[in-house]
Amino acid sequence: MNFDFDTVVDRCASDSRKWNAYPAGVLPLWVADMDFPAPPAVIAALHRRVEHGVFGYGMHPAGAIEAVVAHCAQRYGWKIEPEWIVWLPGLVTGLNVAAAAFGEDGDEVLCCTPVYPPFLAAPKHQRRRTVAVPLAQRGNRWEFDFAALEKAVTPRTRQFFLCHPHNPVGRTFTRAELEPLAAFCEKHNLIVTSDEIHCDLILDPVPHLPFASLSPALAARTVTLMAPSKTYNVPGLGCSFAIVSDPVLRKRFEPARGSIVPDVNVLGFAACEAAFREGEPWRQQLLAYLRGNRDYVQNFVARELPGVTTTHVEATYLSWLDVSALKLEDPAGFFLQHGVALSDGTPFGVPKGSFVRLNFGCPRATLVEALARLQRALAAR
Ligand SMILES: Cc1ncc(COP(=O)(O)O)c(C=O)c1O
């Protein structure tokens, strides 16, 4: 079966945050959802659940648990047990729960910037201190800077927040990079929260290695956060989960949800099960389409956008554009005036005016028009 990623679905008349944040006519390539309908198998499962007609309080259905366990085994060769799964309505919630669960007020949480902004905010919301250590850009890719990480550790450092694959720099970290990171976390006795929400969106022929799967000792200090939301484009359905193998760690993580974190809604469970059980043919075609979009962006930036550079995106549908040479005070505001909404880099922990993030999870026609607008914007300066 061929799936259609080319048709432009009008989201303006819907509840889309992405499409309603800016005036009509602006092409929104900012917040990380895609403009594609979910896989038909997911939509069919949702129809079935809606037809049932009763929407009382839910709990994780056995089928969703089986689907997650099978997914981890088949996709990553990672054997997990059903009781390790802690359901969550979102990964940002998961970051906040992890920040609250471990350590004391004023303890420090390390993360590597640039990074998805809630990594920087969650520790602060939970009365911890965020310590941001810049990734090092080496040629065409961003890497951990172990010397800088070592320097950042203090007696109050308790946790490491890992983004793997990394939003916004699009890296899939290799075993050769993860092993020294694991050694670093073990040396300093850090609890690791590994946000792996983008792990099924790897565009290059490299495997995703769940951080916790590297060794049992590492698993014992790791909370893995995953979800079908990014890959199958169902983030509005709010279904995510943590995998915590260590019972002691889990006993600290679970109650930190308190009575603030709501249960996953029943439609989210239905979507999650269908996505993991039946979504693979759709995902394969999505990856091929995104690869085409990724290549289009990289080539276009190199040829047509003077003063803009980017690095190779191995995973995600996000490009991190270095616009520092343009010397614009507010690059996102500048491009918005020319009809394209990008994410400003500043909340990701980089200096004002240096980077913007572009979301290429959209039909090719939308992307082509948006990039042409960026080109015209630069030509008109
Ligand atoms: C790395 C990362 N974590 C978490 C999220 C958001 O997760 P959720 O919508 O489940 O809170 C995103 C969304 O862009 C993300 O890129």
What is the CATH classification number for the domain harbouring 304? 3.90.1150.10
132 falls within a domain: yes
Ligand 1 centre to CA of 92 (Å) is 6
Residue 178, in any domain of the structure: yes
Q: Do 59 and 142 have their domain in common?
A: yes
Instruction: Please identify, among 259, 278, 297, the residue that sits at the C-terminal boundary of a domain.
Output: 278
Q: Is the same domain home to 247 and 350?
A: no
Per DSSP, 220 falls in state T
Judge whether 40 lies within some domain.
Answer: no
Distance CA 319, CA 302 (A): 13
Domain assignment present for 44: no
The answer, yes or no, to whether any atom of ligand 1 lies below 6 A from the CB of 235, is: yes
Count of domains for the chain? 2
The residue with tokens 């920040």 is: 99
264 close to ligand 1 (CB < 6 Angstrom): no
For atom 10 of ligand 1, the residue with the nearest CA is 90
Q: Digits of tens for pLDDT over the chain (381 positions)?
A: 999 999 999 999 899 999 999 999 999 999 999 999 999 999 999 999 999 999 999 999 999 999 999 999 999 999 999 999 999 999 999 999 999 999 999 999 999 999 999 999 999 999 999 999 999 999 999 999 999 999 999 999 999 999 999 999 999 999 999 999 999 999 999 999 999 999 999 999 999 999 999 999 999 999 999 999 999 999 999 999 999 999 999 999 999 999 899 999 999 999 999 999 999 999 999 999 999 999 999 999 999 999 999 999 999 999 999 999 999 999 999 999 999 999 999 999 999 999 999 999 999 999 999 999 999 999 998
**Structure confidence at residue 115 (pLDDT):** 98
- Give the pLDDT score at 292: 98
Q: How far apart are CA 350 and CA 142, in angstroms?
A: 14
Residues 140 and 198 in one domain: yes
Asked whether residue 107 falls in the same domain as residue 191, the answer is yes
Joined together, the tokens standing for residue 253 give: 């993580």
**Does the beta carbon of 91 lie inside 6 Å of ligand 1?**
yes
* Residues 330, 216 share a domain: no
Query: 208 with 95, same domain?
Result: yes
By alpha-carbon position, which residue is closest to atom 7 of ligand 1? Answer: 91
Centre of ligand 1 to C-alpha 164, Å, is: 12
Q: Which helix (H) or strand (E) holds 70?
A: helix 62-76
For ligand 1, the distance from its centroid to the CA atom of residue 379, given in whole angstroms, is: 34
Q: What is the position in ligand 1's atom list of the atom closest to the CA of 93? A: 11
Task: Tell me if 161 CB under 6 Å of ligand 1.
Answer: no
- Taking a C-beta distance cutoff of 8 angstroms, is the pair 366, 9 a contact? no
Question: Is 43 among the domain residues?
Answer: no
Report CA(278)–ligand 1 centroid distance (Å): 23
Could you say which of 278, 306, 324 is where a domain stops?
Answer: 278
Residue 354 lies in a domain: yes
Residue 12 forms part of a structural domain:
no
Provide the domain limits for residue 319: 17-31+280-379
Q: Torsions phi, psi of 225, nearest 5?
A: -110, 125
Please tell me the distance between residue 306's alpha carbon and the centre of ligand 1 in angstroms. 31
Position 123 scores a pLDDT of: 98
Is 1 within a domain?
A: no
